[in-house]
């Protein structure tokens, strides 16, 4: 499909996820090329000084993957501990790597500024700099809810949940369906692979029923 034509369909499914807009750190130097909000693979970070920001699954997975490819990893966590939502089989791995010193971790710590060859950290009233070559900021994402709103889908409440029928997954716009994490609006932890597998079946069933009507 290209942008050279207009395509028409009786039914459209929006399953756009929530990785559209990263939650930025909002610190000086975040626009440097050494900073990324998306982790793809660990190989480019081998033998490099890498700071991973975050305490949830994405951050922990990135930290462990980079460590196993030979990176010198520092985990920067705003809170006092690893996130509660970290997968139960991963939690012992990251805790053991931190305790043995394979991965350095700073808790109750935030990045104050990012420089070409270092990062500036703040922990309470203490600030200091550490040598650094890359920053992987896994600080969360927001879905592109403006896209849904522009299509005419109403958004409800503070969490901006897109209105849809939970039985059929259809929005108030006939033939326009939602599937996956986007159904929760800003509540991005509500839907994931395991509990949204039925969305596809619900949508197809509804489409087929309408075609037979």
Q: What is the pLDDT of residue 1?
A: 56
> N- to C-terminal Cα distance for the chain?
30
Measured distance CA(49)–CA(58) in Å, rounded? 19
Range of the domain at 69: 24-137
**Residue 99 pLDDT greater than 70, yes or no:** yes
3 state DSSP class of 209: helix
More confident residue, 113 or 192: 113
Measured distance CA(137)–CA(25) in Å, rounded? 8
120 and 49 in a common domain = yes
Mean pLDDT of 38-42: 96
CATH value at residue 163: 3.50.50.60
78 and 63 in a common domain = yes
Q: What is the pLDDT of residue 80?
A: 97
Q: What is the pLDDT of residue 212?
A: 77
132 and 145 in a common domain = no
**Residue 6 pLDDT greater than 90, yes or no:** no
The gap from C-alpha 120 to its chain's centroid, in whole angstroms, comes to: 24
Q: What is the pLDDT of residue 194?
A: 85
More confident residue, 201 or 212: 201
Does the residue 1 lie in any domain?
no
28 and 103 in a common domain = yes
Mean pLDDT of the chain: 95
Does the residue 37 lie in any domain?
yes
More confident residue, 96 or 5: 96
Q: E strands of the chain, at which residues?
A: 12-14, 21-22, 35-36, 49-53, 72-76, 104-106, 110-114, 118-123, 126-131, 134-137, 141-142, 155-156, 161-162, 176-178
Q: What is the pLDDT of residue 111?
A: 98
119 and 198 in a common domain = no
Instruction: Count structural domains, the chain.
Output: 2
115 and 102 in a common domain = yes
Q: Quick one: how many helices (H) and strands (E) in the chain?
A: 5, 14
132 and 28 in a common domain = yes
**Residue 2 pLDDT greater than 80, yes or no:** no
3 state DSSP class of 206: helix
Burial of 197 (0-12, 13-18, 19+ CB in 10 A): exposed
**Residue 207 pLDDT greater than 80, yes or no:** yes
């Amino acid at each position: 499909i290209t942008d050279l034509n207009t395509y028409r369909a009786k039914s459209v499914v929006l399953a756009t996820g929530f990785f559209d807009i990263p939650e930025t750190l909002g610190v000086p130097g975040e626009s440097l090329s050494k900073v990324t909000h998306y982790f793809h693979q660990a190989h480019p970070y081998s033998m490099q000084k890498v700071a991973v920001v975050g305490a949830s699954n994405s951050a922990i997975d990135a930290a462990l993957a980079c460590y196993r490819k030979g990176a010198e990893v520092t985990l920067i966590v705003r809170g006092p501990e690893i996130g509660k939502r970290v997968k139960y089989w991963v939690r012992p791995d990251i805790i053991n790597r931190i305790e043995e010193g394979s991965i350095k971790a700073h808790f109750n710590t935030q990045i104050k500024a990012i420089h070409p060859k270092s990062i500036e950290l703040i922990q309470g009233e203490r600030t200091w700099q550490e040598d650094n070559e890359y920053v992987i900021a896994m600080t969360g994402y927001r879905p592109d809810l403006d896209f849904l709103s522009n299509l005419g889908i109403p958004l409800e409440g503070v969490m901006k949940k897109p209105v849809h029928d939970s039985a059929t997954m259809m929005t108030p716009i006939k033939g326009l369906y939602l599937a996956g994490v986007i159904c929760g609006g800003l509540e991005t932890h509500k839907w994931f692979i395991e509990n949204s597998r039925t969305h596809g079946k619900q949508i197809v069933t509804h489409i087929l029923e309408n075609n037979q009507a």
